[in-house]
């Protein structure tokens, strides 16, 4: 198993329960509950509350082991996975396999503008979420020190790019932090006047949701004080500066100390490594085409699952991507485990993989959320209660569930956030002055 995310860990646990000999390879020694990483970034939760050591998860299974290493390549003919150990002084090695499952996941794509990455952080990994947390909190601290109103306004401007679930959730959390949590703690900085801007190129937020739910989400965001900039495309990002273009070609510049990226993803480089080894097909996002049973074409002993693949409905048919959601990867992982177990025992194999959509959820803030559950559409407190229940259920470990539930209950009644610690270097590249727009900043409004 390559990858300890939702797909890889689901497959590893299911196979281990069936008595299989499982080796899980990951460059991190923990499983991250990524849907809640934005809550680490905004100080609502601590890292250990949404992450659990992989060895602890697989400890009950004597035939399961974990290797802390980064996969550098595949030899499909010799059935070897080439690895670089993460531990210092350890030598590279190759791990043999009978059956290979690759679940490399995805990362945020900057659409060919990698030079934007240092200035627009993302929250997909635990490390990046901690950097975002430090940058957010450092902006408020700098605003407390700033003496000029224009400088304080720049420090208290926060831009979130991408209005999918992560972007909406992030913007709502920043607005709550600025407008509800910090005003009673800051003395000089006017955090209630913080400008939280949500940028989206589509005509509405949550474009994958039905329009009525998008409208409810927009109203909730505006009630929290979030400014919506839909139908705006990002043209340039520099330190402290964001340039946007509207549909009519008009451009505007936004001075913002903190910029967060939540727009678009690209598949793990492991998809490209598999494609190179097997002559597979990649799309523009780097996703690998796999057969209807999630095997690599021409290699029935190799499976690829999760965000890094596109699924063919029939052998040789057109490959289409499934939603990049945790339930998709988890269902794929359990399916692959069942297929491998059936092959090993000589039983009849399960039918080709079919994703069972149980619904889509997005939270905006305290008691604010939207939910699409089949034909049922919910918003407000009922949707938020379902969101809480689902996320508590899918967290790994009773201890983490109990702690997160307690944290959320405390936050609901007190609006407190106890994990507001600056632990990482707060800024991006600090060489040179803050970028300035060509016109006076008052013009940008």
Q: Which residue has the higher pLDDT, 71 or 433?
A: 71
Among the listed residues 49, 122, 169, 218, the single catalytic one is 169
What is the model's pLDDT at position 34? 94
From the CB of residue 188, how many other CB atoms can be counted at a distance below 10 Å? 10
For the chain, percent of residues with pLDDT exceeding 70: 94
Q: Confidence class of residue 180 from pLDDT cuts 50, 70 and 90?
A: very high
Q: Is 3 helix (H, G, I), strand (E, B) or coil?
A: coil
The C-alpha atoms of residue 398 and residue 400 are separated, in whole angstroms, by 6
Q: Identify the three-state secondary structure at position 82.
A: strand
Q: Quick one: pLDDT band at residue 316, thresholds 50, 70, 90?
A: low
Q: Which of 262, 257, 228 is nearest to 241 (CA)?
A: 257
Q: What average pLDDT does the segment 18-26 reach?
A: 95
The set of residues, in sequence order, having a beta carbon less than 8 Å from that of 377 and lying 6+ positions away, is: 210, 212, 213, 370, 371
Q: Is 236 a catalytic residue?
A: no
**Token pair listed for 94:** 């190759």
71 strand-pairing partners: 83
Tokens 């503008």 belong to which residue? 113
Of all residues in the chain, what percent are helix, strand and coil, respectively (each to 5)?
Answer: 35, 25, 40
Give the Å distances, CA to CA, from 46 to 43, 60, 439.
7, 26, 41
Q: Residue 140: which of 177, 167, 169 has the closest Cα?
A: 177
DSSP 27: S
| Across 8-12, 182-186, 392-396, 416-420, least confident range | 416-420
Contact 4, 28 (CB under 8 A): yes
Q: 254: which 2 tokens? A: 């936004």
Q: pLDDT tens digits for 102-147? A: 999 998 989 889 999 999 999 999 999 999 999 999 999 999 999 9
43 φψ region: left (φ > 0), alpha (ψ -120 to 50), beta (else): left
Q: Is 372 helix (H, G, I), strand (E, B) or coil?
A: strand
Find out whether 359 and 33 touch, Cβ atoms under 8 Å: no
Residues 163 and 205 sit within 8 Å (Cβ to Cβ): yes
Mean pLDDT for 195-204 is: 96
pLDDT interval class at 415 (50, 70, 90): confident
CB 52 within 8 A of CB 396: yes
Rounded Cα distance, 445 and 443, in Å: 6
Distance CA 225, CA 80 (A): 54
Pairing of strands 360-365, 368-373: antiparallel
Give the CA-trace dihedral at 245, 249, 253, 259, to 10 degrees: 0
> Is the per-residue pLDDT at 431 higher than 60?
no
How far CA 4 is from CA of 32, 33, 196, 231, in Å, comes to: 8, 11, 34, 37
Decide: 411 and 417 in contact? Cβ < 8 Å: yes
The SS3 assignment for 195 reads strand
Structure confidence at residue 430 as a pLDDT band (50, 70, 90): very low
The confidence score (pLDDT) of residue 154 equals 94
- Average pLDDT score over the chain: 91
Determine the Cα–Cα distance for residues 359 and 364; give it in Å rounded to an integer. 17
Q: How confident is the model at residue 399 (pLDDT cuts 50, 70, 90)?
A: confident
| Domains of the chain, start order | 6-108+266-345 (3.50.50.60), 114-263 (3.50.50.100)
pLDDT of residue 345: 84
pTM for this model (two decimals): 0.89
Question: Order of strands, edge to edge, in the sheet holding 251-255?
Answer: 232-238, 241-246, 251-255
* Burial zone of 202 (CB within 10 Å; 0-12 exposed, 13-18 middle, 19+ buried): middle
């Amino acid at each position: 198993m390559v990858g300890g995310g939702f797909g890889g860990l689901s497959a590893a646990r299911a196979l281990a329960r069936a008595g299989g000999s499982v080796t899980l390879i990951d460059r991190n020694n923990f499983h991250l509950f990524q849907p809640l990483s934005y809550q680490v970034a905004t100080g609502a939760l601590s890292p250990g509350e949404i992450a659990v050591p992989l060895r602890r998860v697989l400890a009950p299974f004597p035939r399961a082991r974990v290797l802390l290493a980064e996969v550098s390549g595949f030899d499909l003919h010799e059935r070897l996975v080439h690895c670089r150990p993460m531990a210092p002084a350890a030598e590279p090695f190759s791990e043999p396999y009978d059956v290979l499952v690759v679940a490399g996941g995805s990362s945020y794509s900057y659409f060919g503008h990698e030079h934007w990455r240092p200035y627009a952080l993302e929250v997909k990994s635990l490390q990046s979420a901690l950097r975002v947390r430090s940058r957010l909190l450092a902006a408020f601290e700098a605003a407390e020190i700033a003496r000029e109103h224009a400088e304080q306004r720049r420090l208290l401007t926060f831009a979130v790019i991408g209005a999918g679930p992560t972007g909406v959730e992030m913007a709502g959390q920043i607005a709550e932090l600025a407008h509800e949590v910090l005003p009673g703690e800051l003395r000089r900085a006017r955090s209630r006047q913080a400008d939280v801007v949500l940028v989206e190129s589509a005509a509405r937020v949550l474009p994958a949701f039905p329009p009525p739910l998008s409208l409810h989400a927009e109203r909730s965001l505006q009630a929290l004080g979030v400014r919506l900039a839909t139908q705006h495309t990002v043209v340039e990002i520099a330190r402290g500066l964001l340039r946007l273009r509207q549909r009519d070609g008009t451009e505007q510049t936004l001075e913002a100390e903190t910029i967060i990226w939540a727009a678009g993803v690209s598949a793990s480089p492991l998809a490209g490594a598999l494609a190179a080894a097997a002559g597979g097909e990649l799309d523009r996002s780097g996703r690998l085409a796999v057969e209807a049973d999630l095997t690599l074409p021409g290699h029935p002993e190799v499976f690829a699952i999760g965000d890094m693949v596109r699924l063919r409905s029939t052998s040789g048919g057109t490959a289409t991507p499934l939603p990049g959601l945790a339930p998709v990867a988890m269902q794929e992982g359990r399916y692959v485990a069942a297929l491998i177990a059936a092959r090993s025992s000589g039983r009849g194999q399960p039918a080709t993989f079919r994703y069972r959509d149980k619904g889509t959820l997005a939270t905006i803030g305290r008691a604010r959320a939207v939910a699409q559950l089949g034909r049922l559409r919910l918003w407000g407190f009922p949707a938020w209660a379902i969101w809480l229940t689902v996320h508590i259920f899918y967290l790994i470990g009773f201890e983490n569930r109990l702690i997160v539930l307690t944290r959320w209950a405390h936050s609901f009644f007190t609006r407190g956030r106890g994990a507001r610690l600056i632990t990482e270097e707060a800024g991006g590249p600090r060489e040179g002055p803050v970028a300035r727009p060509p016109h006076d900043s008052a013009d940008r409004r």
